[in-house]
A = this chain, B = another copy of it.
Amino acid sequence: MEDLQKVVQGIRPLNKDYLTQAQIRLDNLTKPVGSLGKLEDIARRYASIKEDLNPSINNKVIFTFAGDHGVVDKHVSAYPRSVTVQMVLNILAGGAAVNVLARHVGARVVVVDMGVDYDFEPVEGFVIRKIGYGTRDFTEGPAMSYDNAVRSIKTGIDLADEYADKGVDMIGTGEMGIGNTTPSSAIQSVLTGLAPAEVAGRGTGINDETLRNKIDVIETALAVNRPNPDDPIDVLAKVGGFEIGGIAGLIIGGAYRRIPVIVDGFISTAGALIAVAMNPAINEYIFYSHLSSEAGHRKMLEKLKQEPILQLDMRLGEGTGGAIAMTVIEAAIKIMAQMATFESAGVDKASI
């Protein structure tokens, strides 16, 4: 716990000098000032995170954290619990959406078993860091112990650290866990003060009746557990999930090592809410990849005061939105690195 706080408190706000220097560079390129919009915002902030005006992007990894959820027994999802295992195997075999999109953008997918209710055979590229066989049903008590919440976060930090040492220069978050929009909505409710009915959505595609039940379940969980909004680890322990803790940790670890973290959709942003609640400076190291069509996501991003890069009406998770955003971010970096300047190209500047 002491180590965790040391890492969290060790993350500093971005050095504004790099933002300024990157802007000067962008303004000298052969284009009207500001005409590349969000690409320029991305390039500027990316350079500031790396403290490098010409950062290279050679090694991109998407971490797909998997975990099961006891609350699935309360019928909150359109899919049976068994699908978590099946989809982990599908991702390991390269057949899931995140695999296709990661290959397209030149990223690797690393699957992390944080707490799936199954004993997997070890295979290459699969990281088993199981904290339990699924969380407990949090309508009847905490999802996990406080110690296990800390462990799940530390697991994410350690992974960021390990892959930073391996030369990874961009990290994406992702997840697979049937039922995990329910803990994500619960986390959002506690950390934003919004009622469960304002933030809960249809997840993988539940009907009206199941949605009403899901809201009831979250309300019960909050009443039973009374998570402390001033202690994000307590929130994670009481109404979270192992994979959400892993995501929060990966974000913290990425920020600590100055690696830009590309946060995927709704569940990943719940992880970001926990990380940013621990130290607001962490938010500056995060790029929010896309606006999910899951109902509560827009309000999460409003709370975090950040704009998503893409709006593709996606709601799949796994890291799929993050994968596509990675190639947009890479485009922005190349703009800063490769475009001609007004001087080098002999182009006149604006006359008014």
Contacts and interface: CB of A to CB of B under 8 A. Distances in A.
B315 A37 contact: yes
Q: Which residue among A97, A327, A328 has the maximum number of chain B CB atoms within 10 Å of its CB? A: A97
A339 B32 contact: no
Interface string A293-316: 100000000000000011111111
Contacts of A129: none
A309 B31 CA distance: 22
A87 B347 contact: yes
B87 A205 contact: no
A120 interface: no
A335 interface: yes
A86 interface: yes
Contact of A348 (B31, B86, B93, B312): B86
Given A78-B351, A97-B335, A310-B310, A104 B316 contact: no
A352 B97 contact: no
Interface string A85-128: 01101100101110111011100000000000000000000000
Nearest to A341: B95
B311 A348 contact: no
A348 B81 CA distance: 10
B36 A338 contact: no
Given A79-B351, A206-B352, A35 B90 contact: no
B331 A104 contact: yes
Contacts of A331: 100-101, 104-105, 324
- Top 4 A-B pairs, shortest CB-CB distance: A95-B340, A37-B313, A32-B204, A78-B350
Contacts of A97: 29-31, 36, 335, 339
Given A97-B339, A316-B35, A30 B348 contact: no
Give chain A's interface residue range (CB within 8 Å of chain B): 35 or more
A5 interface: no
B320 A324 contact: no
Given A312-B37, A316-B36, A345 B78 contact: no
Contacts of A206: 352
Interface of A: 29-39, 78-80, 82-83, 86-87, 89-90, 93, 95-97, 99-101, 103-105, 204-207, 210, 293, 309-316, 320, 324, 327-328, 330-331, 334-335, 338-340, 344-348, 350-352
Contact of A32 (B205, B327, B335, B338): B205
A343 to B, nearest CB: 11
A337 to B, nearest CB: 8
Contact of A320 (B36, B104, B330): B36
A351 B37 CA distance: 44
A78 B205 contact: no
B350 A90 contact: no
Contact of A204 (B103, B105, B350): B350
Contact of A96 (B39, B95, B339): B339
B345 A93 contact: yes
Contacts of A348: 79-80, 82-83, 86
A339 B205 contact: no
B104 A334 contact: yes
A210 to B, nearest CB: 6
